[in-house]
Amino acid sequence: MDPRGAHHRVWYHFLLSPNQERDSVALEYFLRSETRTTRKTKLAATDRRQQLVSIAMDQIATKGFEGLRFQEVAKQAGINNATLYYHFPTKEALIQGVVMHLTEMLKKTQGHPKDAPANALEELSLEFEDIRELLRTQPKLFVVLTELSLRGLRDPVIERMGKSRDDLWRVHLSSIIERGVEQGVFRQGIAVEATVTALMAQIKGIGYHATLGKRRRAGLHQAIAEIARQVEHWLGCKNI
């Protein structure tokens, strides 16, 4: 029992007469149940936010931003509009929740070996493996990212969200390139900023290519492997 429950138990034993002692057992059970219910409610609130974000992502992936409706999100979640507004007061807040969820998904390392990469070249290779794995397991992620990019052209708020995400990604890729130069696995004299911009364009292009029309999965995986091979050659070739 938490301190609050213990506090209630002491005071009820103090106030009850001996003849009422048996009733205190039932009251104490009630207090324990109340504490457990409060904990479950807090956990459910976190799960509810995840559920709402997932539903919003599905709507964006299938209907675009124009098809994202608060009322429909609440209906699919089995809650009323007031509960949805409690978790996400505005549509902008819900979209921000989607962006944060996407960012976390992109940050997660999937299918990596238990040991850390031996050098920056292996680390960069894992970036492309991540893209291949995400395309296999979370194809709607790239559809939503494409929708976000297109919407950002007309919506300054979403544009700022996308810029923040890209800034974090740029810092991450820049650190890989700089480590590779220091380790000697990448050639000297690389223009880091331009190289990172080119890498981001290539990786984004893979996502756009995958989402625009029906693509054969095997063909996409082969394309990603070829791009990764060319990038590794480009960064490691001493004669450029």
Q: Is the pTM of this model over 0.95?
A: no
Distances (CA, A) of 9 to 21, 29, 34: 12, 10, 13
Query: Looking at residue 150, what is its pLDDT?
Result: 85
Q: Identify whether the C-beta of residue 84 lies closer than 8 Å to the C-beta of residue 55.
A: no
Q: How far apart are CA 112 and CA 60, in angstroms?
A: 29
Helices (H), 64-119: 70-77, 81-87, 91-107
Helix axes 21-63, 70-77, angle to 10 degrees: 130
Residue 111 clears pLDDT 90, i.e. is over it: no
Distances (CA, A) of 226 to 6, 128, 202, 239: 64, 10, 12, 21
Nearest residue to 127 via CA among 162, 174, 69: 174
Q: How far apart are CA 195 and CA 146, in angstroms?
A: 22
50, 55, 56, 62: CA torsion to nearest 10: 150
Quote the mean pLDDT of the chain. 78
Among 66-70, 75-79, 170-174, 216-220, the minimum mean pLDDT is found in 216-220
Q: How far apart are CA 65 and CA 128, in angstroms?
A: 28
All residues at 6 or more sequence positions from 24 whose CB lies less than 8 Å from its CB, including other chains: 12, 13, 16
Query: Looking at residue 24, what is its pLDDT?
Result: 44
Residue with the bigger pLDDT between 116 and 77: it is: 77
Q: How far apart are CA 87 and CA 77, in angstroms?
A: 12
Q: Percentage of the chain with pLDDT > 70? A: 74
Report all structural domains of the chain as residue ranges with CATH numbers, in order of start: 3-89 (1.10.10.60), 103-236 (1.10.357.10)
All residues at 6 or more sequence positions from 208 whose CB lies less than 8 Å from its CB, including other chains: 142, 146
Residue with the bigger pLDDT between 43 and 62: it is: 62
Burial of 122 (0-12, 13-18, 19+ CB in 10 A): middle
Q: Identify whether the C-beta of residue 208 lies closer than 8 Å to the C-beta of residue 146.
A: yes
Query: Looking at residue 41, what is its pLDDT?
Result: 41
Structure token digits, residue 230 = 């060319």
Confidence class for position 89, pLDDT limits 50, 70, 90: very high
Q: How far apart are CA 207 and CA 217, in angstroms?
A: 12
Confidence class for position 2, pLDDT limits 50, 70, 90: very low
